[in-house]
Amino acid sequence: MNQGAVLLERDGPLARITLDRPEKLNAMNLAWVQELDAAVSRVAAEPNVRVVVVRGVGRAFCAGLDLDMLAHEGMPPDFYPIQERAFRGLEAMNKITVAVLHGYCLGGGLQLAIACDIRISSTECRIGLPAINEGLVPGMAPFRLPRLIGLGPARRLILSGEVIGPEEALRLGLVDHIVPADNFEAGLTEVLQQYLAAPATAAVASKRLMRQAFDAPFETVYQESERLLADCLASPEVDAARKTWIQRQARRG
């Protein structure tokens, strides 16, 4: 799918959503959020896709809200609801979602990244939520970010608008992997293989339980975990792992 601001490509079990406004550092306008929402909806319905990668073209992952749009026309009425529908779609889909960060990952770009399951950062990335400096609330980041890194660090980043590097982001738990910029594609491929190798039934079940970690009562999650564990035990991945283990033990004699 190529509609201009956002591209969607599929390569077997891997799908790529690419932000493609490089002349604007992939900043977010109305077309951008509309196309992201369409791409997320489409890939969520692809049964054979297991991992979805979101990345940007050019010098940035995403520099946040298009300030030219904001200055000249304000925020379109549909912008924020469509943005959050797209972000929630990434958060809730039955696939592992991975944000690949480089250059600038600011504002709405970071909001997009923290809606994904995993964040992989280049060593030259700059990361932050400067909305406070523009007199704005950073969308649903005040809800998502404390769940990811804790309330104290989230307060610091949101209320200061501070921009940090990948090492500090890794220390805070804001990114999960750092890949050297001078060998980025090879390093990225190596990291992605870990998630592509994850058995799909177990990954989907684990993600579903983690979504409830901060909100649902223990007993509710426990009851769902029983059902999901039964699904895993009945899956072909578990059967294959069991057979591999038996063969390994037999070779050891």
- CATH number for the domain that contains residue 28: 3.90.226.10
Flag whether pLDDT at 1 surpasses 50.
Answer: no
- DSSP states of the chain as a string? -B-SSEEEEEETTEEEEEE--GGGTT-B-HHHHHHHHHHHHHHHT-TT--EEEEEESTT-SB--B-HHHHHHH---TTHHHHHHHHHHHHHHSSSEEEEEE-SEEETHHHHHHHTSSEEEEETT-EEE-GGGGGT---TTHHHHHHHHH-HHHHHHHHHH--EE-HHHHHHHTS-SEEE-GGGHHHHHHHHHHHHHTS-HHHHHHHHHHHTTTTTS-HHHHHHHHHHHHHHHHTSHHHHHHHHHHHHHHHHH-
Q: Do 151 and 65 belong to one domain?
A: yes
Q: Do 155 and 207 belong to one domain?
A: no
Flag whether pLDDT at 253 surpasses 70.
Answer: no
Q: Do 218 and 192 belong to one domain?
A: no
Query: For the whole model, what pTM was predicted?
Result: 0.90
90 inside domain: yes
238 inside domain: yes
Flag whether pLDDT at 2 surpasses 50.
Answer: no
Q: How confident is the model at residue 3 (pLDDT cuts 50, 70, 90)?
A: low
Flag whether pLDDT at 235 surpasses 80.
Answer: yes
Flag whether pLDDT at 28 surpasses 60.
Answer: yes
Identify the pLDDT of residue 250.
Answer: 82
Q: Do 39 and 64 belong to one domain?
A: yes
Flag whether pLDDT at 112 surpasses 60.
Answer: yes
Considering only residues 74 and 174, tell me which one the structure prediction assigns the higher pLDDT.
174
170 inside domain: yes
Please tell me the total count of domains within the chain: 2
Q: Do 168 and 100 belong to one domain?
A: yes
Q: Do 81 and 151 belong to one domain?
A: yes
Please state the rounded mean pLDDT for residues 218-227.
90
Per the prediction, the chain carries an average pLDDT of 94
Flag whether pLDDT at 248 surpasses 90.
Answer: no
Report the percent of the chain where pLDDT is more than 90.
79
1 inside domain: no
Please state the rounded mean pLDDT for residues 119-139.
95
Please state the rounded mean pLDDT for residues 78-101.
97
Q: Do 111 and 231 belong to one domain?
A: no
Q: Do 58 and 131 belong to one domain?
A: yes
Domain of residue 246: give its range. Answer: 200-252
Identify the pLDDT of residue 56.
Answer: 98
